[in-house]
Amino acid sequence: MQELETLIRGIIREEFSALTKTSDNSEANSQVEEPFLNKMEASQLLGVSLPTFSKLLHDGCVKSYQIGRRRKFKRSELLASIRSKNRQVNM
C-alpha cells in the first residue's frame, strides 16, 4: 500500500511539474490580468466627479464591463480613452 501511495505521489508531482512548465511559457499566462475598478475608483483616477464620470460613461467615452448589476472598468482602458480624447482635442 505504501509503494502504491509513493508511486501515485511521484506521478502527480511529475504531471504537475510538466503542467507548470508549459503554462509558464504560454502567452496567455504572460499577460497579467489587471483588477477592475469600480465607478468611484475610476472617477478618482480620471480626476472627475461621479456625475461627470456618469456622463462620460453614458456618452460612450469610456469602456465598461457589466458584471452582474455593476459596471467595472480597466485602468489601462480608462487612461487610453482619455489619451485618445486629448489627441482629438489637440488636433
26-70 residue pLDDT tens: 555 456 688 999 999 999 999 999 999 999 999 998 999 999 999
Task: Give me the domain span that covers residue 14.
Answer: 1-31
What are the b/e assignments for 1-22, b being 16+ CB within 10 Å? eeeeeeeeeeeeeeeeeeeeee
| 27 and 41 within one domain | no
58-73 residue pLDDT tens: 999 899 999 999 999 9
Place of cell 459596471: 71
Q: What is the C-alpha separation between 52 and 2, in angstroms, rounded?
A: 67
| 45 and 18 within one domain | no
Helix (H) or strand (E) holding 65: strand 65-67
